[in-house]
Structure 1
Amino acid sequence: MEFSIVTILLFISMLIYFKIADKYNIIDKPNHRSAHTQITLRGGGIIFPIAFIIFCVFNFNEAIQNYWSFGLGLLAICTISFIDDVKTLSNKIRLSIHLISVILLLYFTGAFELMPFWTWPILFVIIIGTLNAYNFMDGINGMTGTYSLVTLGSLAYINKDVVLFTDQNFIYYPILATIVFLFFNFRKKAKCFAGDVGSMGIGFWIIGLITLLIMRTGEYKYILLLSVYGMEVVLTIMERLLLKENIFEAHRRHLYQLFANEKKVSHLIISSVYAILQLIVNIFLIHAELSIWAVILIIFAPLGILYLGLKLSLKKQYGL
């Protein structure tokens, strides 16, 4: 009953937001980096901080006691990201809020107590880098939603059947929010895009869950629950560095962008393939009783070969 009510509330929230976005012209206009050609409402990812607020309402005492630091970090990064969706902010302002949010996230997960002092800067770099990777990969219909749904579903399974590391509802609420978001986004002509508020919001939630899982188990292999995104972003950055391009400028060199823009493959097919690849990785990852280095080798060797092969083929075909 609770989840039915939550789903209805999330649907209503989205419909209200659409009215607000339409009135105040919060839209995404296609540019040279875009894989879409039509003006579309932006900021639909506001559903993720709304989902956390609803979670707090239904789980008030537990939220106040255990999730306050996570909530402050999530709301801070979502607020600054939403403002950036509407009006471009300076990198210094955004980075400052990101740092504060990551501090709150690490406090929530217990990393400051469990990890040595010298590892803290490394954690900051990894988490902020992963957040930005999530944002980089949010470029076509369905990508953020389907990929997040697979990762959250995997985390829910781990929490229920492998090792309990958090309240199951803390995973179910973003799953419900993702399903509602996909209802409006997983379409040939999307009703809305996630915007920075969406990619940063759900990215922050998922990274928080994965960090919490790692801190509870000491198993660093779980960072590979985001391995498909990670491999794509790292290899693309390496390619751009070799080409002496500014890695901070917008581009269209991601493999999914080449398929969408040059090959004209359906956004929904591309998004589904990325999600399915990550699901296959997750199934192996969860059940493999191997060292983390063996798991990394088994996962990244075929994925890397597949990625590079497809990338070279497309670049040769279209003279890129």
Structure 2
Amino acid sequence: MIEYLLVFITLFILIQAYFAVADKYNIIDKPNHRSAHSQITLRGGGIIFPIAFIIFCIFNYKEVTEMYWSFGLGLLAICLVSFIDDVKTLSGKIRITVHFLSVALLLNFAEMFSMMPVWAWPIFFIIVIGTLNAYNFMDGINGMTGAYTLVTLLTLFYINRDIIPFTQENFIMYAILASLVFLFFNFRKKARCFAGDVGSMGIGFWLIALITLLIMKTQDYKYILLFSVYGIEVVLTIIERLLLKENIFEAHRRHLYQLLANEKKMSHLVISIIYALAQLAVNIFLIYSKLPGYAVILIIFVPFGSIYLFLKLKLKKKIQSTAIK
């Protein structure tokens, strides 16, 4: 407990130090046509996540040397390139190369290369890189990344402690502490900082690693549902944009949370809480359901997908009718 308190205080001090650096070197987020905010805000507050892992390495040197080196290299590589991209836009080739190498290190960390056939490797690369980018797409309003991440991490912590151990407890707890520190400065009407790509990519990478370890331990793929709320929204939004013949790689404002924030003018914090609670409801059902994995996946995806489409269509009609008037 003393260790956790010390880590929390250290992270709190270090993020304040980062704010001073970001302010001095003008590392800011300027609103654009995709943004759901209108004020210039410090960017890159999500650097707290790789910092938390570095502190984890200091307190758990032996375990890191033996078990976590592959994950650590992948995390730090993807966070470094993401932070540079936050400050100065990098070419897509550089980003995708680093993402590919980081994912390879993550899969090595989870020992997936030795446990799955060669033909399945490209599939997992696509899934992991797609999930990372989905996590980045959903980082658009105050509190969203922090609240959603905290719910998922607490669920993983509970599963690891009370249901089936799949990793070292501290490996989850340090990420939780970093999320709490980040939320203190981001879960506000006027956020002190945004996560930036370094934050969404960093914690997304950490969560994917944890969920992959859990799936490999249990051999139950239903735990992909720990990403279900984000997953449903991103997949359905991509399908919508493809049907509209839009470039899915260009910035847009078609996500439901963007429509709620930008058009409906709903509070960012309220939206973030709704998304986090929706994922919490899924997690509770996922943990306590006795149904087989495929049935749980269908039960979650069909109704949640239907609710998402219903809300989005209803909101769009209301926006269109208001525009006509």
Aligning the two structures, in what range does the TM-score lie when normalised by the shorter sequence? Answer: over 0.9
Deviations 1:169-212 (A, max 9, x none): 00000000000000000000000000000000000000000011
Amino acid at match of 1:153: L
**TM-aligned CA deviation for residue 291 of structure 1:** 1.6
Tell me, in whole angstroms, the C-alpha distance in 2 between the residues paired with 1:10 and 1:86: 22
Tell me, in whole angstroms, the C-alpha distance in 1 between the residues paired with 2:298 and 2:77: 37
Amino acid at match of 1:11: F
SS of the equivalent of 1:113 reads coil
> Which residue of structure 2 lines up, in the alignment, with residue 165 of structure 1?
166
SS of the equivalent of 1:34 reads coil
**TM-aligned CA deviation for residue 162 of structure 1:** 1.0
**TM-aligned CA deviation for residue 298 of structure 1:** 1.1
Higher mean C-alpha displacement, 197-206 vs 110-119: 110-119
Amino acid at match of 1:25: N
> Which residue of structure 1 lines up, in the alignment, with residue 130 of structure 2?
129
Tell me, in whole angstroms, the C-alpha distance in 1 between the residues paired with 2:297 and 2:165: 24
Amino acid at match of 1:234: V
Higher mean C-alpha displacement, 287-296 vs 177-186: 287-296
**TM-aligned CA deviation for residue 302 of structure 1:** 1.5
> Which residue of structure 1 lines up, in the alignment, with residue 204 of structure 2?
203
**TM-aligned CA deviation for residue 301 of structure 1:** 1.7
Tell me, in whole angstroms, the C-alpha distance in 1 between the residues paired with 2:160 and 2:66: 20
Higher mean C-alpha displacement, 247-256 vs 288-297: 288-297
**TM-aligned CA deviation for residue 248 of structure 1:** 0.2
Say yes or no: does 1:220 pair with 2:221: yes
> Which residue of structure 1 lines up, in the alignment, with residue 233 of structure 2?
232
Tell me, in whole angstroms, the C-alpha distance in 2 between the residues paired with 1:299 and 1:217: 20
Tell me, in whole angstroms, the C-alpha distance in 2 between the residues paired with 1:120 and 1:168: 28
Tell me, in whole angstroms, the C-alpha distance in 1 between the residues paired with 2:259 and 2:177: 31
**TM-aligned CA deviation for residue 118 of structure 1:** 1.2
> Which residue of structure 2 lines up, in the alignment, with residue 51 of structure 1?
52
> Which residue of structure 2 lines up, in the alignment, with residue 156 of structure 1?
157
* Mapping 1:31-42, distance limit 5 Å: 31-42=32-43
SS of the equivalent of 1:125 reads helix
Say yes or no: does 1:85 pair with 2:86: yes
**TM-aligned CA deviation for residue 112 of structure 1:** 0.6
SS of the equivalent of 1:238 reads helix
Amino acid at match of 1:240: R
**TM-aligned CA deviation for residue 63 of structure 1:** 1.0
Tell me, in whole angstroms, the C-alpha distance in 1 between the residues paired with 2:39 and 2:289: 44
**TM-aligned CA deviation for residue 92 of structure 1:** 0.5
**TM-aligned CA deviation for residue 130 of structure 1:** 0.2
- Please, what is the CA RMSD of the aligned residues? 0.7
Amino acid at match of 2:164: V
SS of the equivalent of 2:114 reads helix
SS of the equivalent of 1:118 reads helix
> Which residue of structure 1 lines up, in the alignment, with residue 180 of structure 2?
179
SS of the equivalent of 1:21 reads helix
> Which residue of structure 2 lines up, in the alignment, with residue 146 of structure 1?
147
Say yes or no: does 1:284 pair with 2:285: yes
TM-score, structure 1 normalization: 0.99
Amino acid at match of 2:23: D
Tell me, in whole angstroms, the C-alpha distance in 2 between the residues paired with 1:112 and 1:208: 14
Deviations 1:19-40 (A, max 9, x none): 0000000000000000000000
Q: What runs of 5+ residues in structure 2 fail to find an aligned partner?
A: none
Higher mean C-alpha displacement, 295-304 vs 221-230: 295-304
* Mapping 1:68-107, distance limit 5 Å: 68-107=69-108
> Which residue of structure 2 lines up, in the alignment, with residue 295 of structure 1?
296
TM-score, structure 2 normalization: 0.98
Amino acid at match of 2:272: S
> Which residue of structure 2 lines up, in the alignment, with residue 305 of structure 1?
306
Amino acid at match of 2:207: I
Give the % identical residues.
73
SS of the equivalent of 1:247 reads coil
SS of the equivalent of 2:113 reads helix
* Mapping 1:10-49, distance limit 5 Å: 10-49=11-50
Tell me, in whole angstroms, the C-alpha distance in 2 between the residues paired with 1:132 and 1:195: 13
The aligned length equals: 320
Tell me, in whole angstroms, the C-alpha distance in 2 between the residues paired with 1:236 and 1:283: 26
> Which residue of structure 2 lines up, in the alignment, with residue 258 of structure 1?
259
